[in-house]
Every structure is written in structure tokens, then in C-alpha cells.
Amino acid sequence: MKAREWGVLLVLSGAIFLEGIDIAMLNIALPSIRTDLGLSTGSLQWVVSAYVLGYGGFMLLGGRAADILGRRRMFLAALFVFLLFSGLGGLAENGATLIAARFVTGLAAAFMTPAGLSIITTGFEEGPKRDRALMIYGAIGAGGFTLGMVIGGLLTALDWRWVFFMPVGLALVLLIAAAALIPKAAPPERDGNRFDLLGGLTITAAVVLLVLGVERAAHVGPEWTIGLVAASLVCFVLFWAVERRHAAPLVRLGILKSASLVRANLIGMLFMAGFFGFQFLVVLYLQELRGWSTIEASLAMLVLGIDVALAPSLTPKLVRRFGNAPVLLAGLGFAALSYVLFLTAGPDASYFELLPSLVSTGMAFTLAYGPLTIIATNGIEESEQGLAGGLLYTSFQFGAAIGLAGVAAVNVAATASSDPGDLLAGYRAALLVPLAAAVLAVVVGAFNLRRKTTAAQEEPALAGV
């Protein structure tokens, strides 16, 4: 790569790292936020849910906006809004202000993330150079998820507001660098077609209602969940009807004919469902059952960050030798192994007994994140790269919501009391949710491998025809 290409890649990777640590840091700061602002459990949940709704609900709209209005323009604007409202969250003196700030921050991330990914997939030609760029991008992005809890724990020990102020400084540096390094491009051709506003409204409503139904399932009655999911399905049907008739649809339905893209999105949803549910349970186990401090729990999770070192160095070599599908499948296998290993953790397990499970989680991100991003975007037309990124990150966010909601619901239902034995039984029951998600991801990932094997077997036969 040329020096400018490296600069662009590092800026965009820094943005996805910023998005990852923003989510992870908040999770570990929640107890301190509740104490300082005097929030109820329901209000505290909305601090998380507001971001999820903004991010997951507007991701497809954000991805398509990048394709239509310009990727550089959308990335810079969204990063600026992210910077402003992250700072507002740190200044919040009440729950309402914090929740509103988190919603807008999530909305900004919904426009920033697919724009950044599509700048890479359109700026680096498809092949080894793009694959290498996506490996580095994926490694740094995954590092945000895995290192965020460590950084968040250390900052929360000073003051929870630093969890919001630190991203402001990083975002400002990235904004200045992005404005200087990301090359300007000619505005995308619109061919006289109008922006699909009705499609944007219906799909946003559908995703918001679905995410809200999943996110609140553990906190409201079943009638509310059923009603929200039903309303979401109605919006999805309306969206499908609009897209079939629109001259320039927000989501060209034909893109879903790409089997590899559909499988990648399903795997991404299951992978993130397992990881976020597992992360939630590990924190509960360490702090609630074992009585570890925030800093101790954060440092215990530091080993998850091995992907930052291994993904850019080890994963590209493995992909060059074995291909994306086998490496992705190995990563999914490590995720399943991690959850199985943690099932054996007892009430007095030493850190070294927990270490194999945590290392396996880090290896899962090392091997899975980059190849998954490549599979989800390869073969997609340049004009739809933003949409492909939006689909993938919507799947990530929806998976995280499903995983957290499922784990929380099972944990509450399976925990009879605050007795250590009952707490441990609740954790083990809830851990079956991430394990089931990981096993399903392995099954879906195996179809990628089988398809590759079948194509390799057919190639010699075709050559002889």
C-alpha cells in the first residue's frame, strides 16, 4: 500500500475501534452511572437501549445514504455528530439527557460505520490488497469490542464521565486526519431518481420495532413483545412492497440473492449474540459472584485483546493458505469452545482456570471478524458497498440485542435466590444461549466451506469440457 492508503486505512480503522470501545466501555460503567445520577433499573436499561435503537434502527438508511450522497461526506458528518453527542453524554446531569445523547450517538454511528467500511471496499481493489485492508480494519474493530471493557474499567475508576470524554478526543483526532487523508470523490450519479424516503421510513420503523421488542423482552409482559414484533413484521411487509415498485429502491431486493452475503449476515448476528451474551455473564460472574472490583474484572478481560496483535499478522497468512471460509469456521469453533469451557467454572475458580475460555474468545475474534467482513462485501457492486456494510452491521447490532436479551431473561428465570449456588446455576443456564448461537453459527459457516469445496471439485471438470 502507498503511504496515503495506509493513512486512510488507519483513520477508518480508528473509527470502527472508536465505535467498538464506545459500546464496551459503557457496559462496565453502568453501575457507577446509576449511583451518580440516581437512575432506576429501567432508566439504566434505556441508556443502553437508546444507543441500540439509534444504531440498529438507522444502519440500513445510513449505508444507503453513503452510496447515494457520498461516502466521504457522510463519514465526516457522522463522525462530527458522534463527537458532539458523546461529549454531551459526559456532561449529562440527569438520565433523560444521557439517554437522548446515547440515541443520537448511536444514530451517528449508524451513518459513520457503513460509510467507513464502503470507503475501504471501494478504495482498495478487490483481491489481496482489499482483503489485507479488511483484515487490519477487522482486527482493530474487534479490538475495540475486546479492549473496551478494560479501558472502560480504568476510566470508570477515575470518573464514569471519562468513558464519554475519551472518545471525544479520539474522534477529534480522527476527524482532522480523515478530512486531510480521505480523497474527495465525484458525487455519485443519481440518474434522476429520487431518494427512497418511504422505503427508508418503513425499514427504519421495522428494525427499530424489532430491536425494541427484543431489547425489552426481559422487562415487559409478553403481550408487549408480541405486539412490537407483529408491528415490525407489518413494516417489513410494507417495506418489501415499496421496494418492489420503487425506481431507485433503498435496498435492491436482488442483493439478497447473494447466498454468501446472506450467510455472512446470519453468522454475524449469531456471532455477536454469543459474544455480547457471554461478555455480560463473565462480568456478572466476576463482580456479582466473585466480588471482584471493576478494575480487577477489566484487567481479567485484557487477554481478549490478543486479536489486536494476532488478527493483522496471523489471520492474513491463514487466509492466503486456506481461504476465508475455513478460517472463519475455525473462529466460530473457538467461540463455541470458549462457552463450553466457561460452563465448567466453579464458585472459586482461579483466574488461570478461566484463562482458556477467555483466550478462546480472543482467538474467535482473531479468526472470524476479518474473513466475515470480506465474505459479506466481496462480489457486491461498488454502488451498493455502503448497503452491504449497513446490512452486516445491522446484523451485528441485532445479534447483540438478541444475545443480551436472551441471556438476561434466562438468567433471571433460572436464578432462585442470591445464594452463590443459585447464582452460578443461573449463569450456567444462561450460558447455553451464547453456546447455542455459536453452534448455529458453526453450522451456517460449514455451508460456506461446503460451497467452496464443491466449486473446487467442479472447476477441473469444467476445464475439461
Inter-residue contact 442 to 330 (CB < 8 Å): no
Task: Kindly list the distances between the CA atom of residue 369 and the CA atoms of 143, 189, 197, 311, in Å, as whole numbers in the listed order.
Answer: 10, 32, 32, 9
pLDDT tier for residue 194 given thresholds of 50, 70 and 90: low
pLDDT tier for residue 69 given thresholds of 50, 70 and 90: confident
- Note the pLDDT of residue 124: 83
Q: Hey, which of 48-52, 211-215, 264-268, 308-312 has the most confident mean pLDDT?
A: 264-268
- Note the pLDDT of residue 41: 57
DSSP string, 143-202: HHHHHHHHHHHHHHHH-TTHHHHHHHHHHHHHHHHHHHHSPP-PPPP-TTPPP-HHHHHH
Q: Which residue has the higher pLDDT, 267 or 35?
A: 267
pLDDT digits (tens, 9 = 90+) for 44-54: 767 877 887 78
Q: Which residue has the higher pLDDT, 138 or 366?
A: 366
Burial of 447 (0-12, 13-18, 19+ CB in 10 A): middle
- Note the pLDDT of residue 268: 92
pLDDT digits (tens, 9 = 90+) for 455-464: 443 333 323 3
Does residue 191 carry a pLDDT above 60? no
What is the grid cell recorded at 116? 467507513
Inter-residue contact 235 to 279 (CB < 8 Å): no
pLDDT digits (tens, 9 = 90+) for 99-128: 999 999 999 998 998 899 889 888 888 777
What proportion of the chain, given as a percentage, has pLDDT over 70?
92
Q: Hey, which of 138-152, 312-326, 443-457 has the most confident mean pLDDT?
A: 312-326
- Note the pLDDT of residue 463: 37
pLDDT average, residue stretch 427-444: 93
pLDDT tier for residue 465 given thresholds of 50, 70 and 90: very low
| Chain position carrying cell 492466503 | 320
Q: Which residue has the higher pLDDT, 189 or 181?
A: 181
| Chain position carrying cell 455472512 | 264
Phi, psi at residue 250, to the nearest 5°? -60, -45
pLDDT average, residue stretch 286-313: 83
Inter-residue contact 228 to 258 (CB < 8 Å): no
CA angle in degrees (0–180, nearest 5) for 440-368-273? 45
Q: Which residue has the higher pLDDT, 294 or 358?
A: 358
Average pLDDT over the chain reads: 83
pLDDT average, residue stretch 362-372: 89
- Note the pLDDT of residue 453: 45
Inter-residue contact 282 to 273 (CB < 8 Å): no
- Note the pLDDT of residue 460: 36
pLDDT tier for residue 270 given thresholds of 50, 70 and 90: very high
Does residue 29 carry a pLDDT above 60? yes
- Note the pLDDT of residue 441: 94
DSSP string, 128-140: HHHHHHHHHHHHH
Does residue 303 carry a pLDDT above 90? no
Does residue 160 carry a pLDDT above 70? yes
- Note the pLDDT of residue 203: 80
Does residue 141 carry a pLDDT above 90? no
Inter-residue contact 407 to 285 (CB < 8 Å): no
- Note the pLDDT of residue 339: 96
Assessment of whether the complete model's pTM goes beyond 0.85: no
- Note the pLDDT of residue 165: 93
- Note the pLDDT of residue 355: 94
pLDDT tier for residue 60 given thresholds of 50, 70 and 90: confident
Closest CA to 144 of 167, 114, 118: 167
DSSP string, 40-97: -HHHHHHHHHHHHHHHHHHHHHHHHHHHHH-HHHHHHHHHHHHHHHHHHHHH--SHHH
DSSP structure class, residue 323: -
- Note the pLDDT of residue 255: 76
Does residue 370 carry a pLDDT above 80? yes
Give the span between the Cα atoms of 307 and 294, in whole angstroms: 22
pLDDT average, residue stretch 336-350: 92
pLDDT average, residue stretch 426-448: 91
- Note the pLDDT of residue 448: 65
Closest CA to 116 of 13, 5, 24: 13
pLDDT average, residue stretch 63-72: 84
